[in-house]
Structures are given as C-alpha cells and as structure tokens.
Amino acid sequence: MRGMSPSVFACVLLLSGCASVPSVDSFPPLTPTERSCVADSDGVTWVRTAPATHRPTLDAWCASVGPPWRHAGSEATTPAATLIVISWNMNVGRGNLDGLLEYLAEQFKQELPSARVGLVLLLQEVHRAGAAVPASPRFSRAVPREIRPPAAAPDIQALAQAVGMSAVYVPSMRNGGGANGPQDRGNAILTTEPLTAPTAIELPFGRQRRVGVAATIHDIRFMSVHLDTSRARVMQADALATVDLPPAWATVVAGDLNSVEGHNDGAHKAFMGRLAAEPCGDRRTHAWPWRLELFFGGWVGRLDHIFTNLPAGRWSTQCSTLPHFFGSDHRPLAYVLRASGVSADGLHIVSQTDR
C-alpha cells in the first residue's frame, strides 16, 4: 500500500459514488420559473463559469435549493487596523462558531484595547433550513445524501443573526431529500465590516454542484470556495482563478479544495498560476473517521488553503492553522492582516500541533 500515490487512493475512495453520478446532459431543460435559484436576488449577482454542456445538470441541482441570502448586521463605521480572516469548513452544523470566536477573543485580548480588530469568516459546508428551501426536490437524482447536522445546531441564518455580523450565503446543493426538513448547504461570508458586491460563482459540474461566494470588504475581494471531491476540482479551480470579478485592491481566495495531493494537487497548482499561496502550514487540516485514516495511512495531503495577491506595503500578514477543530472535521485557517505601521505584539495564535 505504501507504494501507491495519493491520487490512486483518492480514486479508490471515490469509485463507489462515481457510478451513480448523472452525466452532464441527462436532465431536461427547466422553465425560467424553475431556474429562479440562479436569478439575481437580495443584491447577489451571478457569474457562471461552466461550459454550456453542463447547464442542464447544474440547473437540475439548482432547482432543489433556495436562493442566495444576504443579511445586514452591525457593520463597523471605522476601518479596522487589524483584520482576522478565518477560512473554515464547518461540517454542516458540527462546527462550534461560538467556541472559535471565544478562542480568537482570548488570543487577541492584548491587541484589542489599542486597535480595532475586524473579522472576516470565509465558511464552507454551512447549511440552511426552512421555508426558503423547496419542500421537495425537483429531481431526486440531483440530490446528494444528507449530512445530518446535530439536532440543536443553528443554521447559517441563525448563526449570522446571533453574532450580529453581515453575511451572504449561497447554496451549492440540497442537503438530502428532506426527511428531516428541507435544507440546502453551501458557502458563506460573515463579517463585522462593510460588505459590498456579493457574488455567486457557479463552477463547472463534477460529482456535485459547487458555487463559490465572493464579496468586497475594505477594497479586498474575498472568496470562499469548496471544490469537488473528483478531478473536476482542477477545472473548477481554473475557472475560479480566471473569473472576472469587480475591481478591488486585491484578492483573497480561501477554502477547502479537497486537494488530496496537498500542495502538489492540480487544484492547488491552478490557483498558484494566478495567486500566491499563503504559508499557513504543511500538515493536514482535516480529521476523517478512523477507518479512512487507517486506510489512507496518512497519505492524503492538506485540503484547506489560502491564496492572495495583496499589494506590497499596505498590509503585513501572518497565516497559521489553528490547533483545534472546534467540533468540525477541519481545522480553521487564520490569516491576519495588519495595516502598515500596526504592531504584531498582540498576536498569540498557536501553530497547528502534531496529530
């Protein structure tokens, strides 16, 4: 087993699901009403990057989710001297956001009195429940299995409202058939700062429909992404790396790339062609069930990454992987930006520990 490459092991893991994946032209076209899930709404605009042959399948998956959702929270009126950017896969309700925020407050408690600290959360695998999601799926073949959240887990709308942050959420896919109530899941951005130009970026189809979410905060274009588990993630990364977004000072792309070959994965290399990879660590960021850990023997590489093209001189930066999972199966990445001239003496984030 030790002579096999990570890509071989990844293929073994995915084979069981590949046979049931519909082809990208096996669904009938939808009516304009049925395609309302990709209509510009709540101030969110759409960018579509997939080839035309993927359209029927993407539309079929889209027909079973609700529209994007935007929430206006309590936005700060003065610029933040320090901006904490967190990228985190929340594992559909298992991530403890309150625990993460308490941890960050403790780490930055020495810095808080001297400078205002802003927060940007780039989240993946968050879920939404309720009336915004269609009661039943339009096509059963376009519904992935449910990742059941804990019974008491708040959805993304309740989370954003509870912490008082501005938010934009864009669903990628339905979360199961609805036996436990209609749900969808996708990516979100939450922030204490003014949030403008929210954008949904629909990617080429792989095993599942994937949609990135972007927004401009302090003249920086932030993007939260979660790529496919199949090799289609390379095509999706290429699409994201070249997408034409509203102008901004710079771009920060972060998320779960499902890059089983770590820094050598094709998805990682696709972003590296346009952006710089931030040095957030080399060890794994995920924790899979012990059977998978045993099967893979530790060969699966780092799945979570941050890429940027910040202009020199405006910010000093530091990136690390937090040492805790906070209930999820992924560790958060912490990317700290300080305006030029701001001291870093208050930073006490601990590097990722060995597992």
Angle at which helices 97-107 and 156-163 cross, to 10°: 30
Task: State the pairing for strand pair 117-129/82-89.
Answer: parallel
Residue 355 lies in a domain: no
Contacts of 12 (CB under 8 A, 6+ apart): none
Q: Is 238 helix (H, G, I), strand (E, B) or coil?
A: helix
Residue 33 lies in a domain: no
pLDDT tens across 195-254, in order? 999 999 999 999 999 999 999 998 899 999 999 999 999 999 999 988 877 666 689 999
Residue 266 lies in a domain: yes
> Which of 105-109, 155-159, 189-193, 213-217 is predicted least confidently?
105-109
Cα 74 to Cα 192: distance, rounded to the nearest angstrom: 7
C-alpha distances in Å from residue 209, one per residue of 39, 92, 198: 16, 16, 19
Residue 346 lies in a domain: no
Task: Answer whether residue 2 shows pLDDT above 60.
Answer: no
Token pair of 268, please?
Answer: 């990682």
Mean per-residue pLDDT, 65-82:
88
Task: Answer whether residue 1 shows pLDDT above 50.
Answer: no
Mean per-residue pLDDT, 275-288:
89
Residue 354 lies in a domain: no
Domains of the chain: total: 1
Q: Are 175 and 205 in contact (CB under 8 A)?
A: no
Residue 41 has what DSSP assignment? B
What pLDDT band is residue 294 in, cutting at 50, 70 and 90? low
What pLDDT band is residue 156 in, cutting at 50, 70 and 90? very high
> Which of 26-35, 214-223, 338-347 is predicted least confidently?
338-347
Helix (H) or strand (E) holding 271: helix 266-272
> What's the angle, vertex CA 270, arms to CA 331 and CA 83, rounded to 5?
45
Mean per-residue pLDDT, 133-161:
93
Mean per-residue pLDDT, 258-269:
93
What pLDDT band is residue 44 in, cutting at 50, 70 and 90? very high
What pLDDT band is residue 172 in, cutting at 50, 70 and 90? very high
Residue 351 lies in a domain: no
Among positive and negative, which fits the CA dihedral 11, 13, 17, 19?
A: positive
What pLDDT band is residue 4 in, cutting at 50, 70 and 90? very low
Exposed, middle or buried: residue 60 (CB in 10 Å: 0-12, 13-18, 19+)? buried
Indicate left, alpha or beta for 60 from its phi (over 0: left) and psi (-120 to 50: alpha). alpha
- Domain extent, residue 183, equals 43-339
What pLDDT band is residue 79 in, cutting at 50, 70 and 90? confident
Residue 105 lies in a domain: yes
Residue 325 belongs to domain with CATH number? 3.60.10.10
Task: Answer whether residue 350 shows pLDDT above 60.
Answer: no
Give the residue carrying structure tokens 């925020």. Answer: 101
Q: What residues pair up with 319 in beta bridges, in sequence order?
A: 335
C-alpha distances in Å from residue 12, one per residue of 5, 6, 23, 236, 335: 11, 10, 20, 21, 34
Mean per-residue pLDDT, 38-49:
85
Q: What pLDDT score does 205 carry?
A: 96
Residue 327 lies in a domain: yes
Task: Answer whether residue 193 shows pLDDT above 70.
Answer: yes
Mean per-residue pLDDT, 48-68:
92
> What's the angle, vertex CA 121, arms to CA 119 and CA 126, rounded to 5?
150
Q: What pLDDT score does 113 carry?
A: 56
